[in-house]
Amino acid sequence: MSARNVDLDKIQGAVDRCCKTVAECGTCNKAHCLIGFAQTALAYARQKNTVRIPRGNELIPQDDLRVYYQQDLIAALVEVLLECQDCRDNHEEECVINVTRRALELALLGENFDYEGSVSAYLMQVARHNPAIGGSLLATYQERKKKKQES
């Protein structure tokens, strides 16, 4: 998969809407912020014209305890899932889509899930773990996917 196959700008816009801004958070420290980290990963991928973020999963801040707006996180996670190439056996842990997904799901759900390169399997897994958020995520995904196919 190449960076040309992924609309990083669309993901970036959705992730940017999750940012609580300096007014809400105080000083911005992207290295300790899940949203700031995702923004940095996406900027790196665009700058380097790559989809690989070396050691990306290791760099995700685990100590960010901010409460983000759930609907913004769901919308951003859906944009990430819509850009996923459903690579299954060729799933790459260091893929910018995977790294961004992990940061967003940690902010949304407080933990990370295994991802097997299948959006459907992932959505079912989240729904089993958290029916309310999983249901909202699935409904939003289906709605956005339908709109994307119509355009």
| 67 contacts: CB under 8 Å, gap ≥ 6 | none
**pLDDT, tens digit only, all 151 positions of the chain:** 445 578 899 999 999 999 987 788 878 788 889 999 999 999 999 999 988 999 899 999 999 988 899 999 999 999 999 988 766 656 677 899 999 999 999 999 999 998 887 899 999 999 999 999 999 999 999 999 998 888 7
Number of domains in the chain: 1
- CB-based contact 45:84 (threshold 8 Å): no
Sign of CA dihedral 25, 29, 33, 38: positive
Report the C-alpha gap between 3 and 130 in whole angstroms.
32
The pTM (predicted TM-score) of the whole model is: 0.91
Domain span holding position 132 = 3-150
